[in-house]
Amino acid sequence: MENQDYLHSNTALENNLANGWDFKFGDYLSRGFEHTNKQAGPFIGYTVLCVIIALVVGLIPIGGTLINSLFLTNCLMIGFALGTKHFQKTGISDFNSFWEGFKFIGPIAILGLIVIVATIVSFSLVGLIIGFSFIGDFIALQQNPGNQEIARTFFLNLSEHVPTLTILALLLGFLTFPLAFAPFFIAFYNKDAIKSIEASYKIISKNWALAYIFYLIATLIMAIGGAITCGLGLIYLFPAYRNMLFAMFEDMTGMNQENDTTPLANPGAFGE
């Protein structure tokens, strides 16, 4: 599919921005599983390949982690939604559609850079509150994952700050989770990185608290299910999780109200 085949009009989005949107908690959960079940094989295969690719790239001594953070992860993650959208439009499962997130590598890389900066700021805030030694221990653990002494020191220090870190994590998550929807705006509304962030925060603001609770519960479903199955269940639950988020995105932007005759998005129309 060409890039334009994924685009949607701003009309329903602007209507939801002006009038709000009804939050359908149960629908997003059920549609997430429904989308995944329709293409279970391709989704599982794609998930396994994503893990392998991310792990291999992460092993690159210089720049591997940066490549993952800057663009690779988001290009791969948007592939779940592109695979779902292709099936919705054609009724045919096309494994190639999952990889088309790389067509948006430019704006996704800029978005990734902004997220990296936001992450650094967040870690700095944590350091100011509980002390920068915690961040130093964390970095040391990343650099020496098999060192038991470093791991013991890290978790000992971590245990002393669990309540504070929990509150900080929930607060920072509450403030930053709309960024998770920015790649969808890049792929489906032809937004650049800045406008995708702007659109994400504006539409989420209409149901911010409920959206955050749903985001947390969807994450917990994936995490708990993965833990119960010793990680094996994640090859199914992770695509289900991504499809839950996409189901919410479809609803809050009005994508699921459009048809193939709706005029395509004008990238400069939003926010002007």
Strand, coil or helix: 191? coil
Chain centre to alpha carbon of residue 225: 19
pLDDT at 261 over 50: no
- Residue 62: the pLDDT is 80
pLDDT at 263: 44
pLDDT for residue 268? 47
Q: Tell me: the pLDDT tens digits for 71-84?
A: 999 999 999 999 99
pLDDT per residue over 215-253, tens digit each?
999 999 999 999 999 999 999 999 999 999 999 999 999
Q: Answer yes or no: are the C-beta atoms of 185 and 196 closer than 8 Å.
A: yes
Taking 80 as the threshold, does the pLDDT of residue 50 lie above it?
yes
| Total H helices, total E strands in the chain | 13, 0
Q: How far apart are CA 54 and CA 171, in angstroms?
A: 28
Q: Determine contact, residues 78/187, Cβ cutoff 8 Å.
A: yes
Token output for 194: 């800045």
Which of 219, 227, 269, 232 shows the shortest CA–CA distance to 32?
Answer: 219
pLDDT of 241 reads: 98
| Highest mean pLDDT of the ranges 99-108, 171-180, 258-267 | 99-108
The CA dihedral of 192, 9, 14, 27, to the nearest 10 degrees, is -100
Mean pLDDT, rounded, of the chain: 88
Average pLDDT over residues 185-189: 95
For residue 271, pLDDT beyond 70: no
Confidence grade of residue 260 (pLDDT, cut at 50, 70, 90): very low
In whole angstroms, what separates CA 57 from the centre of its chain? 19
Residues of 14-31 as b/e, b for ≥16 C-beta within 10 angstroms? Answer: eebbeeebebbeebbbeb
Q: How confident is the model at residue 138 (pLDDT cuts 50, 70, 90)?
A: confident
Query: pLDDT tier at 132 (50, 70, 90 boundaries)?
Result: low
Q: Where are the domains of the chain?
A: 3-257
pLDDT of residue 266 exceeding 80, the answer is no
| Chain centre to alpha carbon of residue 50 | 14
Residue carrying the six token digits 């149960």: 26
How many Å apart are CA 259 and CA 239, to the nearest integer? 25
Residue 2 pLDDT: 52
Is residue 267 predicted with pLDDT exceeding 60? no
Distance from C-alpha of 146 to C-alpha of 143, rounded to nearest angstrom: 9
d(CA 96, CA 167): 41
Looking at per-residue pLDDT, the higher value among 69 and 265 belongs to 69
pLDDT category of residue 1 using cuts at 50, 70 and 90 = very low
- Greatest extent of the chain over all pairs of C-alpha atoms, in Å: 62
Strand blocks (E) in 9-110? none
